[in-house]
């Protein structure tokens, strides 16, 4: 039996993005807020029902009840010397079901490469 979501629940992940943890908040108004720790602005906000419908193959999509709100999205510069987008590679590798040790090692490599690109 689960607890009713009638007050905000906030958790910090162990996953690092740009050397910052991710803060996830399940809100009492049935939304999910995701932002990087230490940043007051920015982040993502989506209704739980809308997210479930987007991720589920079995549920027929309904008319959208709202849209994803992206606040303070920084425009990413494209490095013409890079053959593949490292952020896309990182995202794909983390969702392919590799064992934990492989994911950690590969993600560390990609994180280091991204840090090097940001320091150039």
Report d(CA 64, CA 59) in Å as an integer.
Answer: 13
**Which residues, given as ranges, of the chain have pLDDT below 70?**
57-82, 120
Task: Give me the pLDDT at residue 112, please.
Answer: 86
Give the pLDDT of residue 68: 63
| Secondary structure element (H or E) that encloses residue 36, with its range | strand 31-36
- Asked if 32 and 26 touch (Cβ cutoff 8 Å), the reply is yes
- What is the pTM for the complete model shown? 0.46
Q: What is the Cα–Cα distance from 39 to 74, expressed in whole angstroms?
A: 13
| Whole-number pLDDT of residue 11 | 93
């Amino acid at each position: 039996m689960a607890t009713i979501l009638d007050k905000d629940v906030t958790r910090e992940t162990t996953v690092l993005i740009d050397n910052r943890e991710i803060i996830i908040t399940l809100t009492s108004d049935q939304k999910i807020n995701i932002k990087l720790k230490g940043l007051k602005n920015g982040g993502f906000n989506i209704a739980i029902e809308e997210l479930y419908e987007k991720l589920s193959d079995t549920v027929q999509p309904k008319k959208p009840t709202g849209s994803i709100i992206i606040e303070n999205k920084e425009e990413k510069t494209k490095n013409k010397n890079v053959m593949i987008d490292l952020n896309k590679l990182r995202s794909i590798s983390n969702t392919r079901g590799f064992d934990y040790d492989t994911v950690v090692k590969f993600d560390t490599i990609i994180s280091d490469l991204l840090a090097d690109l940001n320091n150039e």
